[in-house]
Structure 1
């Protein structure tokens, strides 16, 4: 386990405890590089490196709340992380939020990971700035959905086949202004109660909008709404 001391920082979790980033990667070089890069670029977080989930469980239990970056390469290894390890992490106690980091940016794996409880999916083609933005969003309670991993399956939204950028943006016409507002807030990981407060509507009305949105795009849950509407908001940062 690698520990890099960091100065006191203001960002805190739910219990007033400082956020720790656990970088879990069996490859020592990439693990060390990522850990050091995060500390250098984001002194508002502590960072610890672990070679495996087992090592993290044995040595990182006291570091809560925690954002766990599970780093993996290759299709089979990424599928194994999604199918097996995310279930394992979900059973752990404490406030742990998982972000998968992989060189495989298959939209199906992105959706599967989010459906298993991951709070984000970062492709290794992303920059360090994108990774930091994802970590900060997850720390704030949001869900990070990578645009690069979703581009090949925009047609899944059910409103047509391949489209140009203008055609993708025109899909906003399929939703009412209030539905679009709900989608934007939902994509930030906000609860129905928070959405209702910010949009000045009843919580039951928010539930109706979400149900209608799900029916319109054939989504099964909130995660799929965020995934399937990624192309509706040009320049939307998460």
Structure 2
């Protein structure tokens, strides 16, 4: 079995030490501990060659986003983000910066190790509500788009429909939630797809996350 070198990024040394011990119980070897992305980037510039970078997200700030982007440019290592909460805003930031995984700190040790191994096998690991959309349309093999509407901005209703999509709702469920007909939902979806240059629901969901939208359970 391959052993991958891991760089851990977290200002909390105690947490990093515990996480390092946990990760080392799998096919991983800790090669460097960094307090922040600046420290990590400096280590890479000085010759550190991690296969995987695991970063504990603090507040999803612009500085952290810039740090992830800097690491993405500086190294070909896979990047996994650990967050205290599954917040769509910070998920959006992580995706925009090029992270390969967005994981919850509260997940079990077994799930964490399995997720990190999947990342090293080339998979991209999303939260459950996004992963379900990707699995549902796996045969479509979409290429995520980051297009932004240029000629026509999304209407309030179209934004609501995208948010319902992120919540994993079918057209029928969206119609019931928004108190409109299913044919109206389909019409809005057609308009949304055209505006954001998406070819399917998965691309639309990824675009919505990348542009800061959050799931809408009840209108």
What TM-score results when the alignment is normalised by the length of structure 2?
A: 0.58
| 2: CA distance, partners of 1:218 / 1:139 | 23
1:3-42 correspondence runs (5 A): 10-11=1-2, 18-39=3-24, 41-42=25-26
| 2: CA distance, partners of 1:131 / 1:158 | 27
Among 91, 97, 104, the alignment partner of 1:116 is: 97
Count of aligned residue pairs for this structure pair: 156
What TM-score results when the alignment is normalised by the length of structure 1?
A: 0.54
Aligned residues of 1:24 and 1:50 also touching (Cα < 8 A): yes
Counterpart position of 2:85: 104
Aligned residues of 1:138 and 1:144 also touching (Cα < 8 A): yes
Counterpart position of 1:215: 199
Change in Cα spacing, 1:218 to 1:38, as seen in structure 2 (3 Å) is closer
Aligned-pair CA distance for 1:63:
3.8
SS, match of residue 60 in structure 2: helix
Tell me which of the two structures has the higher relative contact order, counting C-alpha pairs closer than 8 angstroms and 6 or more residues apart: 2
SS, match of residue 215 in structure 1: coil
Change in Cα spacing, 1:55 to 1:112, as seen in structure 2 (3 Å) is closer
1:144-197 Cα shifts (integer Å, max 9, x gaps): 11216779x66336743469xxxxxxxxxxxxxxxxxxxxxxxxxxxxxxxxxx
Unaligned runs of 5+ in 1: 1-9, 12-17, 164-213, 228-238
SS, match of residue 81 in structure 2: strand
Unaligned runs of 5+ in 2: 133-162, 176-197, 211-219
SS, match of residue 90 in structure 1: helix
| 1: CA distance, partners of 2:208 / 2:62 | 25
| 2: CA distance, partners of 1:81 / 1:126 | 26
